[in-house]
Structures are given as C-alpha cells and as structure tokens.
Amino acid sequence: MELTNPDYWKSLINIGFTKILVLKVLSCGPNHGYGILRELKSITDGCCVPTFGSIYPILKELTKHGYVEVKEDKQLKGAQKRRVYTLTEQGLKAYETAVEAWRSTIPYIYKAIENNELIFLEDIKTRLSNKSNK
C-alpha cells in the first residue's frame, strides 16, 4: 500500500475500468484475447493495459454468462490457434449499462480531482457539438 506511487492508483482504477474497455473493443467487432490487449494498448496509449492474468479470466466469465460467443479460428498464417469472441445482444446491453454507470459517476470524479465547479457530461457534449457546428 504505497499511495504515493502512481501505479497503486492506476491498478485500483483499472479494476473498474478493464471490463468496460474489453466490452468496448468487442463492440467494434469480434476479437481474440491477445488482439484485445493489443487494441487496449493502442487506444489508451499504454495507459490502461491489463495483464493476461486478468484478460483471460474475464473472457472466460463473459463466455460463461452469455455476454460473448466464442469460435475457434484456424488462421492461415501466424502462430497459435485463436479463440475469437463476438459480443452477443446481452453483451451489448451490458456495455450500455456500464456506459451509463460511468456517465453518472464521472461528474463526482471531477469534483474529487478538480477545484472547478461540477461538470456534467451533458454540458461537455453541448460544448462539443457547438464547436463542431462552427
């Protein structure tokens, strides 16, 4: 418990963040464990990259509870056989639930880390669309 070490906090944050990231990647198309990790490395600039020790158990659980469907892929080139995961309708619903949970929490995260006024996502989205309309 070394609270002045950023890694401690990163790890703590990732507990809540890894699973929605996996669902996010799968919502963009079928993928396999190793590929999901590569994708995560890319879209988070290496900021939120779980280990294999967490990614594979997550995929196993998602499969077991019907959030994804798995299919063996005998690829023509490259190494090992792959296990490709596809998001089910239930899985998409789970992703949307997660998005809502995060959306409702983020204003309070701002309140905890910024001294500014409370910022709501709706507000941010309005500003963004104003910007793109210019």
Helix (H) / strand (E) containing 32: strand 31-32
- Of a copy of itself, DNA, none, which one does residue 39 interact with (CB within 5 to 8 Å by kind)? none
Instruction: Convert 44-60 to b/e letters by CB count within 10 Å (16 or more is b).
Output: eeeeebbeeeebeebbe
Query: Residue 24 and residue 95: Cα distance in Å, rounded?
Result: 7
Which residue's CB is nearer to DNA, number 57 or number 66?
57
**Residue 62 engages DNA in binding (rule: CB under 7 A):** no
Residue 99 beta carbon to a copy of itself: minimum distance, rounded to whole angstroms: 5
- Of DNA, a copy of itself, none, which one does residue 125 interact with (CB within 5 to 8 Å by kind)? a copy of itself
Using CB under 7 A, which residues numbered 6 to 25 contact DNA? 8, 10-12, 14-15, 18-19
